[in-house]
Structure 1
Amino acid sequence: MNTLLRDRLSAPQAAWVQQRMPDAVIVRDMSWHLVASIVLHVRGSLGGETIDAVVKAGDVTNHHIAREIAAHTRWTHDLVSTQHSARLIDADSDERVMLFELLPGALVEATNAEWETGTYTQAGALLLRLHSQDRRMDAEHEARANARAIQWLDGEHRVTPAIATRARGILADDPAPPVEVVPTHGDWQPRNWLIHDGVVRVIDFGRFAFRPPSTDLLRLAAQQWRGRPDLESAFFEAYGPDPREPDRSRISALREAVGTACWAHHVGEERFEAQGHRMLAEALRAF
């Protein structure tokens, strides 16, 4: 068994990879090291040829692997067909490990492309393709999302008591009406986009779920679109009408802020935690 694979993966996960790529070696560790997820660029033989691939694996606490497998089982096919998302080669949900083709490109985040309108025109078109695949009504989504945000506030965080109390009260009093939901990425932002020869591609469906379409805009609105209406306009030129409905968007923004501040504290990401506190202050001003 390859020692490097064994060092980064569980023994069953490493064995699973080597059953498919017997001579696989790690080229680069691409993990974020913030959550219980390992992402490895590997090279080895598959089907009689040497290829570059991506191994993604998680431990028993990782719930993102199951979501990503679900996404690739049905909902990424359209994007994969045009090479705008990676093809899933194989996966084992019990062992929480996946093998993908390696897409060309570098992360858009922290490059010039992060601030170019053309990037957002492409991102808008890609998100429209994902969202357009299905629409359904969900009578329980908003209640579940509110409960999850309250659960974050009931845990360990550094949100001030006054802000936490006000946020909890708004969420508890929300009528949580039925909403229309679509297949969403869950983390639609430049850190999950690749760019190569000017073409934007999408990675990491670990937060995939059916949600209101506006939820895929929350992180862009809190980050790249702040002070850059040109980027927002470029996005909607391709995506179409803005799906954000004022009343529900206020609640969504509040939940996103709570989750950001609390999750970032949980994983020790202070910069992102500070962003969450800013988002919380801004979200509460809307009420």
Structure 2
Amino acid sequence: MTNSTMPSAALLAWAAKELGTDVSVAQDASSKAHAASQPRENSRVWALGRPDGIRFYVKVTPKPVMYERETFALRHAVPALGAGHGPQLRASSAAHLALLLTAVPGAPLERQTLTPAEELRAHRRGGALLALLHAAGELSGPHRVQAERALQTAAEGADKRLRQAADRLAPAEHKLVRDLAAQLRDLPPLPLAFIHGDAWHRNLLWSQHLGQAAWIDFERSRFAPAVQDFVLMSCGIWADRPDLRAAWFQGYGRDLLPEEQHALKGLAALDAVNCLVWGPAHDDPAVTVRGRRTLDRLMAGVFA
């Protein structure tokens, strides 16, 4: 999916200068712009073509912090995935909040119809690549402090989210979310990592031809407890496909520790409330359904 708005002349001129040749906006079905059905601000992404047919992507992020996070990730962590398993940064422009990226084989996993066996293979490889990303980057100094405070920061936002949700939650659901959020403050130290921050099947590419996975979109990457990278999949496709979850963690190299599983429930509760605020406000039933379903699973005690 290509972005419906054309890039500015200044942005195209910058990309052409960095590539040393003329470029044009390409019609490319694999161009990955952030979809509107997410509770977040969207980046803009365009596929660019050179006269020799080689494709690149130019991405403009909505906030400086996202630009800084993705630039850091592409320079210091994504190379650990290996060639073809993540985009390479050709150039960046703080003035445009823009990144010029190489193309990566494959298409988002959510857009593909695969055999069950190939789905398992894709999730296994996605988990294995995420393990490499989690081990990348130097976890010391302010990075370690940031990671160690991440759950506390998440818990501190619970009351604000619940106030915004108002009567969209029953009293018992309000209590459950408050209790789970409070428990995030009291957990023992959890395994820390350099997380993707938006790890789910919209950002996991799969090439059927190559049998190869790749991760894209690192604007929410940061140092944090590793478990924070499993919230979206746990609240999404894994709810119906425990076999995919098992394949993922087989590739990742370990399953969640009991304390990580407990943290996951608290993080999922916060994600659910966020969805129940954002979905109705933006007329997005898919996000609303995700939040409602997660809360129902947590209330029933079947979230895993």
Q: TM-score, normalised by structure 1?
A: 0.83
Structure 2 residue 54 is matched with structure 1 residue 51: yes
Q: What residue is the counterpart of 2:14 in the other structure?
A: 16
Q: Specify the SS of the correspondent of 2:168.
A: coil
Q: Specify the SS of the correspondent of 1:40.
A: strand
Q: What residue is the counterpart of 1:82 in the other structure?
A: 83
Deviations 1:57-95 (A, max 9, x none): 134x5743332112112111111x332001011112342
Q: Specify the SS of the correspondent of 1:109.
A: helix
Distance (Å, rounded) in 2 between the aligned partners of 1:140 and 1:114: 41
Say if 1:142 and 1:179, in contact at 8 Å, map to a contact too.
Answer: no
Say if 2:92 and 2:100, in contact at 8 Å, map to a contact too.
Answer: yes
Q: What residue is the counterpart of 1:146 in the other structure?
A: 155
Q: Specify the SS of the correspondent of 1:53.
A: strand
Structure 2 residue 272 is matched with structure 1 residue 254: no
Q: What residue is the counterpart of 1:37 in the other structure?
A: 43
Structure 1 residues 126 and 113 mapped into 2: Cα distance closer, same or farther (>3 Å)? farther
Deviations 1:170-194 (A, max 9, x none): 2663361454421111222221121
Q: Which runs of 5 or more residues in structure 1 are unaligned?
A: none
Q: Specify the SS of the correspondent of 1:113.
A: coil
Say if 2:45 and 2:59, in contact at 8 Å, map to a contact too.
Answer: yes
Match of residue 246, structure 2, among 233, 236, 239: 233
Distance (Å, rounded) in 2 between the aligned partners of 1:97 and 1:9: 11
Q: What residue is the counterpart of 2:96 in the other structure?
A: 95
Say if 1:8 and 1:38, in contact at 8 Å, map to a contact too.
Answer: no
Q: What residue is the counterpart of 1:69 in the other structure?
A: 71
Distance (Å, rounded) in 2 between the aligned partners of 1:156 and 1:114: 39
Structure with more strand by fraction: 1
Structure 1 residues 131 and 30 mapped into 2: Cα distance closer, same or farther (>3 Å)? closer
CA RMSD of aligned residues (A): 3.1
**Could you tell me how far 1:56 is from its partner in structure 2?**
0.4
Structure 2 residue 25 is matched with structure 1 residue 26: yes
**Could you tell me how far 1:284 is from its partner in structure 2?**
4.1
Structure 1 residues 66 and 266 mapped into 2: Cα distance closer, same or farther (>3 Å)? farther
**Could you tell me how far 1:232 is from its partner in structure 2?**
1.9
Say if 1:25 and 1:43, in contact at 8 Å, map to a contact too.
Answer: yes
Q: Specify the SS of the correspondent of 1:210.
A: strand
**Could you tell me how far 1:199 is from its partner in structure 2?**
1.0
Distance (Å, rounded) in 2 between the aligned partners of 1:157 and 1:113: 40
Deviations 1:93-131 (A, max 9, x none): 342111000112222113233852111111111111111
Q: Which runs of 5 or more residues in structure 2 are unaligned?
A: none
Distance (Å, rounded) in 2 between the aligned partners of 1:200 and 1:106: 9
Structure 2 residue 192 is matched with structure 1 residue 192: no
Structure 1 residues 168 and 225 mapped into 2: Cα distance closer, same or farther (>3 Å)? closer
**Could you tell me how far 1:266 is from its partner in structure 2?**
4.5
Say if 2:47 and 2:56, in contact at 8 Å, map to a contact too.
Answer: yes
Structure 1 residues 205 and 139 mapped into 2: Cα distance closer, same or farther (>3 Å)? closer
| Percentage of matched positions with identical amino acids | 25
**Could you tell me how far 1:157 is from its partner in structure 2?**
7.4
Q: How many residues align?
A: 279
Deviations 1:120-153 (A, max 9, x none): 1111111111112355564422121122344333
Say if 1:107 and 1:195, in contact at 8 Å, map to a contact too.
Answer: yes
**Could you tell me how far 1:241 is from its partner in structure 2?**
1.8
